[in-house]
Structure 1
Amino acid sequence: MDTAWLLDFVTLAEVNNFTRAAQIRHSSQAAFSRRIQALEAWVGAELIDRSVFPTRLTDEGSRFLEYALDISQRVSDLRADFSGRPSAWLSRIRIAAPHALATGFLPRRWQEWVRGLAALNCVINPANVHDAVTTFISGNADLLVCFHNPQQPIHLDPEQYQRLTLGVQMLRPYMSTSLHKKVRWSFPGTVEHPIPHLAYSQGAYLGRMVNLMMERANKPPYLVPHAESDMADVLRELALNGHGVAWLPDCVAHSAERHGALMCVSSDPAWELSLAVMAYRDKHNPSPALQRLWRRLSSLYEVPA
């Protein structure tokens, strides 16, 4: 067995995507797939469930992952000891986060977090909120960065998991400035002129947050469905192209490439919701990289809750 196969397998287990894993491993997808198949042949069991998307580990694959991580880390640490270079395990942070935070929040914060922390790097695994939490509690991520609202909390055992509040994001209704110049209606719309709504798919976390606002409103806005997606980034792009109004976290709205291309359509607090951004870590995770980063986060933000 080639020990590089173990690193291929660990990478695939982290990102759950053959194409992305092959890119990370600087390989063609065909060659990468052959190496995974060779590893499965050597183990004598199917490690990857290819019948679902995104791909996931089989039960045998989950069991084998523990050994693959241990072996690859030991080999990396030994090589680092011989060469004097830091190993990946000593410097890498695996982060699970919902798409909105993975694209709109983390890229802006990471540089500040690791300033002065030599050789610290990250692997960000974007997913929906449910899958991000599942990835974290299954041990396939060192850090969970997630939204938190008291009415839709993330339930993690405080005896095992420590948390920090990294900031607050406001969820507000946005539309493109170009559309605003054209329309005859104004927020919250009327029966005669309802607002084209760019909605979250059923079950999406941010969609549930929007529903909370609607439920508490004395008089809901006049909305007509126009498009939907479970990803805030997709709704932002639809809004940028003038398709309607989308409720977006500020970090997503402000990450639009064209400055000023999106505008908040209402200053009424009834149509916005405050979402805390929380970081979670397993107190028993021995990763030296995670311990270094958590100390930095603790110095930058509030005392752990």
Structure 2
Amino acid sequence: MPGRSIQIAAGHTLSLTFLPRWLKQFHQQTGDFNARVVAANVHDAVVALAEGSCDLMIGYHHPLVPILLDRDKFAGITLGHEDFIPVSAPDDRGKPIFSLPGTTDAPLPYLAYTATTFMGRVVDMILNSADAPYHLRSCYEADMAMLLMKMVVERYGVAWLPVSAVAEEIAAGRLVQAGHDTWTAQLEIRCYRAIANANPTLQDLWQSLDNTSSCEHVEDDAPV
């Protein structure tokens, strides 16, 4: 792209919810620059960063489902945190139609992420560490949170979604949380760059991040 520019690979949900506000903030802090955003799943975003096809990668992270990058080659910063919660459409009283953990006689229709997705692995982590038995019946799969959210609104079942993806629907009363907090997880929002990337726009933005007290440098990624 012409002029001051940066190419970003971002997770599908973050590209719709987090990224627009975040870019506006840094336009105000660093001046105008052009941005090309490619929405991608985590695997493709990591590949794009490793191959130099993007300047910046933004995605979710969980310590039990880590994104592994060589710390000698890549730097990371935590930008914020977000809850990952089960949601259902409400009944006439505002209670979830489908509420965890379900029962043996009436397992909950489960709207799942495809097995290879980051969020699918996070849901598996939540379920595998559950203190109580759960009863789910898989009835739909998708690789994007927004597709699952639309299915939940249409009362097809229960799904786990980032709060930012469902905030408007919850505020409007079209969705409610479908279980207590033990069925939730907290995700980090992280950005990564290649240390060797000399793009001056990226360097300006990264310096601005360094000067933002709410951002934390990532120290716990391991090389792959």
Task: Establish whether TM, by shorter chain, passes 0.5.
Answer: yes
CA distance, structure 2, for counterparts of residue 173 and residue 142 of structure 1: 33
* Structure 2 unaligned residues grouped into runs of 5+: 219-224
State the partner residue of 2:221. none
State the partner residue of 1:11. none
Give the structure with the higher percent helix. Answer: 1
State the partner residue of 2:159. 246
- Give the AA of the match of 2:21: R
Matched-pair contact (CA < 8 Å) for 2:90–2:97: no
Matched-pair contact (CA < 8 Å) for 1:90–1:288: no
State the partner residue of 1:154. 67
Tell me the secondary structure at the aligned position of residue 220 of structure 1: coil
Aligned runs of 1:1-305 on 2, under 5 Å?
A: 88-178=1-91, 186-254=99-167, 256=169, 259-269=172-182, 271-300=183-212, 301-305=214-218
Equivalenced residue count is 217
Matched-pair contact (CA < 8 Å) for 1:163–1:278: yes
Tell me the secondary structure at the aligned position of residue 281 of structure 1: strand
How far off is 1:142 after superposition?
Answer: 0.4
Matched-pair contact (CA < 8 Å) for 1:89–1:287: no
After TM superposition, the score normalised by the length of structure 2 is 0.88
After TM superposition, the score normalised by the length of structure 1 is 0.66
**Cα RMSD over matched residues?**
2.2
4+ runs deviating over 6 angstroms: none
Matched-pair contact (CA < 8 Å) for 1:162–1:283: yes
| Structure label with greater radius of gyration | 1
CA 1:121–1:277 in structure 2 vs 1: closer, same or farther (change >3 Å)?
A: same
How far off is 1:239 after superposition?
Answer: 0.9
CA distance, structure 1, for counterparts of residue 48 and residue 108 of structure 2: 37
State the partner residue of 1:22. none
For residues 63-111 of structure 1, the C-alpha deviation after alignment (integer angstroms, 9 at most, x for no partner) is: xxxxxxxxxxxxxxxxxxxxxxxxx454211111121211222123221
Matched-pair contact (CA < 8 Å) for 1:198–1:245: yes
How far off is 1:129 after superposition?
Answer: 0.7
Give the structure with the higher percent strand. Answer: 2
